[in-house]
Structure 1
Amino acid sequence: MANIDHKTIREVVGPAGERLTLERLPDHGTTRWVARRKAEVVAAVEGGLLSASEACRRYELSLEELVSWQRAVERDGLSGLRATKLQQNRLKHERLNRRELA
């Protein structure tokens, strides 16, 4: 993906199969992140519409947060981005880490 010139990509396929363009992405000032909006940003980055750094700058995200969204989509699809699912996964991984350290 490092070789993709995202400036030439004008649209990507979104999480529900819709066409996403820069204009159809969530607004710059988005503060309420529902699963669908997160998935749209992930699709835009993975499809080359936005670079990871552009997405982080545009939406005031940390790289770690964006990467966590990407992992959630890979693991569980759109449902993995729901707040309750993220909390459940966080607790599960914390328990596993405690067991490994013990």
Structure 2
Amino acid sequence: MDKIGIIVCEKTTKICGGCMCFSAFSKKEKSFERYKGKDVEIGAFFHCNGCNSELDKDLEEKVGIIKSKDIKNVHMALCIKVECKRYDEIKDYLVRNNFNVIEGTH
């Protein structure tokens, strides 16, 4: 079974329950269409550590755990694209850490 991760914006976790991401995944819609007919589960649902964090340092432990769970694909949720000024920095960090980065969730 393949496992995927979803990274969301830390700011929006205060108001978002992840419902739209999980709904799109369950229905294999939007960016999750690529998984239709495949045995896949969400193995990680995590957020950046905020706009003023030291990105590399603050994500290092999370990324280590996610890698240990054999997660190779990480979806960058819509909230990051909309809210985050560090979108490209986060994407580059994930790519440097050998993840396949998929833009979007729902």
TM-score (norm: length of structure 2) = 0.30
Report which of the two has the higher share of strand.
2
Report which of the two has the higher share of helix.
1
Q: Say which one has the larger Rg.
A: 1
User: Highest relative contact order (Cα 8 Å, sep 6+), 1 or 2?
Assistant: 2
TM-score (norm: length of structure 1) = 0.31
